[in-house]
Structure 1
Amino acid sequence: MNYSQLEERIRQGEVSPVYLLYGEEHYIIQQLEHAIIDQLLTPDERDCNLTVLDGDPKPEELIGLLETVPFLGGKQVIVIHNTAFFRAAKQDNAEVDESGKSDKSSGRLLKVLADMPDYTCLVLTTIEKVDKRRKLFKQIEKCGIAFEAISFKSWDTKNISQWVQAQLGKRQKKIAANAMEAVLAMVGSMPRISLVFLEAELEKLSLYTGNRTIITLQDLEAVLASVPELSVFALLEAIGQKQVAKALPLLGRQLASGEHPAKLIGLLAREIRLLWRIKEMVATGLPAREIGTRTGLVNYICEKKIKQSQQFGIAQLRQALLSLAQADTDFKSSQANEAVLEEIVIRLCHNTTIPSKP
C-alpha cells in the first residue's frame, strides 16, 4: 500500500487502532498524522481528546493513556513523536528499557495493543530506522498499520502519478496526460525536490485554472515557467521533435524571466551528457531497465530519454557539449550574448554539427 492509498483509506473512514509511521519523508508522516486526526476529531474535540507527546512515556504510563476514557465520550487520539520504542533491541527476542533491564510492563503493553479500546487511536512516529524484529513492531503489523514513508526521490512513476492526482482531486481538479508527462519528467530531472514544493506548485495551478477542471500542459508551462527543469524538459522535447519555432521561444522565456545563461547551459549540458550516455548504452544492446538502473532514472523517464537520444548523432551531441562549454566560459568572461545559445538550439534542431570557435 502506498501513501496515496493509505491516505484515501483514512479519509474514507477506515482508521486502524494503532499506526507506526516511520521513514525519511517527514512530510508524508505529517500528512498521514493530520489525516488521522481530522478523521477522528473535530476541531472542538481536540483540546480534550488529542494528546501529543514528544518522546516516549514509560510503558505503564502509555497503557494508562490508552485505557483512559475520553472526555464526554467519543474518540481520543494519542500521538507520540520521535518514538524510540523501535530502536534495535539490546537483547535478542527481549524488550528492554533504557537501563538495559527487561521491562515486564512491555508485555502488558503488547496485550493492550492487541485489544485496543475502541475509543482510542495511537499514532507513533519516527524518522529513525526501526528494528522490525521487535515484538512491538510485529504486534503493530498484526493489529494496526506500520507504514514506511520512503524518500520522495525513491518513488516510482506510478506512485508519483497517484500522489499528484490525489492532490489535485482534493482541489476538484484533473490533469491532462501530456501535462502529467511533463510533471513526471520535471520530477525525474530535478536533483533535489520536496513534496512541500510540489504541493505548493499544484496549489498554484489549481488557483490559476479557476473554475476549469482540467489542468493542461499550457497551464503547467505558464505557472511553472520559473522551474528550469520543466522548461529544459519542454525545450528538449521541442529539439527532439525538430521544432525550432517552439524551441526558441522556450529558450527566450527562460532568459527573459531572469534565469542566468550559465544555469541553463549547465542544465542543457547535463541533459546532453545523459542522452549521449544513454545512446551509447543502447548501442551495446542494454535493455531499458538496465539503462534505468545505471542512470538512476525511473522506467518512464528512462524510456522517454531513450527515444530522445535516438534523434541525435554522437558527433552532434559531442559538438553541442563543446559549444556549451565554450559558451559557459564566454558568458562568465562577458564575451558572449544570448545569440550563442540560440545558435546551439537551432543547430540541434536541424541535426547539424556546431563549428568550434576559431
Structure 2
Amino acid sequence: MQEFNQLMSSIDRGEYKPFYLLSGTEPYFIDRLEAKITEKITDEASRSFDYSLFYGKEVEEHQIIETAKRFPLLASHHLVVVREAQHLDKSTDLIADYLSQPQIQTIIVFCFKYKAFDKRKKLYKAAKKLGALLETKTLYDNQVGQWIRDRLQEAQFKIDAKTLQILSEALGNDLSKIEKEIGKLKIVLDDHSQITPELIEKHVGFSKDYNNFELYNAVGKRDFLQCTKIVKYMAENPKNHSLVLTISGFYNFFRKLLLYHGLGDKSKAVSLLGISPYFVRDFEYASKKFSLKQVSKAITLILEADLKSKGVGVKSSNHLHIIQDLLVKIFAA
C-alpha cells in the first residue's frame, strides 16, 4: 500500500502524470485513485467539457487517443478515464505510441482490474518511463484487521482488539464494502465514538454473540454447549456465515494453537503467531484444554471437513451437519 499512499499524496499536491496505469487484483485501490484524480481535476462546471469516460468493452483504442489530444476548456487538464481496460479487445500499442508525445494538458487513467498488467507490453514500458504505475494486491486475512483499524482511526473512531475481530469477521475482506460500512457509521455516530459489539450488531447487522470469533473462543474453552448454540444460529443465517470461511477459521485457530504449543519462549507469541497481545491469554488457556496430540488430530479433522464442505465424499454439504460433526470429533479427540 506504500505505492498507493505515495500516489494519493502526489495527486493531493497537484503533481500529475500524463498517464496512470492502475492494475491488479484489488479493485478498491484502483477505484480510490480514479476518484481522487477526478475530484482534483474536475468540478461540476468543467466535467461536461473536460472529462471523458470510456469502458474497455465499448471503446476502440483510436477513440481514446483522439479524445486525449483535445485541449481542456475550463479545467487545468482534460481527464480521460478508461474503466474495465482489461476488456480492451486489441493491442494497446497505439496508446503507447501516443505517450511518446502526449498532450501535456491531458491525463489518462487506465483502470485494468482483477489481474496485473503484462509487464512485457509496450504500454507498460511507456507508462514506467513517463507515467505512474500501480499494481494492487488483495490483502491477506491477517492484514485486513489492521487496515480496518487504520480506516476507523481516519474516521475518528476508537475500537478495541476484540471488537475489531468481530467487525473484521462481519465485513470480510471486501475493502469497498468495508469503506461503505465505515461511512454509514460516520453518519450515525459522533466523532471519537468507541465502536462496541453492540453498535456493530445494531448498525452493521451482525450478531455480537453468535459469530466465528465467539465460536473459536468457545472451542478454546472446550465449551461444547456454547459451540452448538453458535453453530445452530450460524446455520440458520448462512448468508452472513460462509461454511468455507468458518472451516478456514478453525484451521487458522488450531494452526496457531499448534505453534503456541511449540514455542519455547511464550513471550514471542505475539510476533510469531501474528496476533494482538490481547489474544495471547486465549491461546494460553486453549493450550491447557487441548494437548499437542489433540491439536494435531483437530487439524486433520478440519482438513477432512474442508473437503466435505466442497462436496468431496458426501452427497450434500449441509452447513449444520458438517460443523456439528467436526465439533463432536474435535471434542472427542
Please tell me the TM-score bracket, short chain as reference.
0.5 to 0.7
Residue of structure 2 aligned with 1:310, choices 275, 279, 287: 287
Of 120, 139, 148, which aligns to 1:133? Answer: 120
**Distance (Å, rounded) in 1 between the aligned partners of 2:167 and 2:80:** 37
Partner of 1:112: 101
Task: Flag the 1:259–1:20 CA change in 2: closer, same or farther, 3 A.
Answer: same
Instruction: Say if 1:82 and 1:265 are closer, same or farther in 2 by CA, change over 3 A.
Output: closer
Match of 2:50 in 1: 49
Report the CA distance shift for 1:123/1:264 in structure 2 as closer, same or farther (over 3 A): closer
1:222-263 alpha-carbon deviations (Å, 9 max, x no partner)? 5446268983314544775x698xx969x6798499647xx7
- Percent identical among aligned pairs is 18
- Which residue of 2 is the match for residue 149 of structure 1? 136
Instruction: Return the TM-score normalized by structure 2.
Output: 0.64
Where does residue 202 of structure 1 map in the other structure?
Answer: 182
Structure (1 or 2) with the larger CA radius of gyration: 1
TM-score (ref. length: structure 1): 0.60
Superposition pairs of residues 141-220 of structure 1, within 5 angstroms: 141-152=128-139, 154=140, 157=143, 161-162=146-147, 165-166=150-151, 169=154, 172-178=155-161, 181-182=164-165, 186=169, 193-208=173-188, 210-218=189-197, 219-220=199-200
* Match of residue 81 from structure 2: 79
Q: Deviations over 1:134-191 (max 9, x none)?
A: 3331232232211112224x3762x76346534663xx4223242674268538xx8x
Q: How does 1:263-342 map to 2 (within 5 A)?
A: 271-283=249-261, 299-300=274-275, 308=283, 309-314=286-291
**How has the CA–CA distance of structure 1 residues 305 and 133 changed in structure 2, closer, same or farther, with 3 Å as cutoff?**
farther
Q: CA RMSD in A?
A: 5.3
Output one character per residue of 1:303-329: Cα deviation in whole Å (capped at 9) or x when no partner. 95896253531377679x99xx9xx99
SS at match of 1:112: coil
SS in 2 for 1:133: coil
1:86–1:134 Cα contact (<8 Å) kept = no
Q: Kindly tell me: are residues 141 and 224 of structure 1, through their superposed partners in 2, closer, same or farther at Cα, counting changes over 3 Å?
A: same
SS at match of 1:125: strand
What one-letter code is carried by the residue in structure 2 that aligns with 1:165? D
Counterpart contact for 2:19–2:108, Cα < 8 Å: yes
Partners of 1:281 and 1:64 lie apart in 2 by 59
Partners of 2:124 and 2:282 lie apart in 1 by 45
1:86 positional shift: 9.7
Aligned mates of 1:265, 1:40 — CA distance in 2: 45
How much has 1:198 moved relative to structure 2? 2.0
How many angstroms apart in 2 are the aligned matches of 1:107 and 1:255?
56
**Aligned partner letter, 2:177:** F
Q: Which runs of 5+ in 1 are unaligned?
A: 88-96, 292-296, 337-343, 345-352
Unaligned 5+ residue runs, structure 2? 306-316
Change (3 A) 1:310 1:143: farther
3-state DSSP class of the match of 2:98? helix
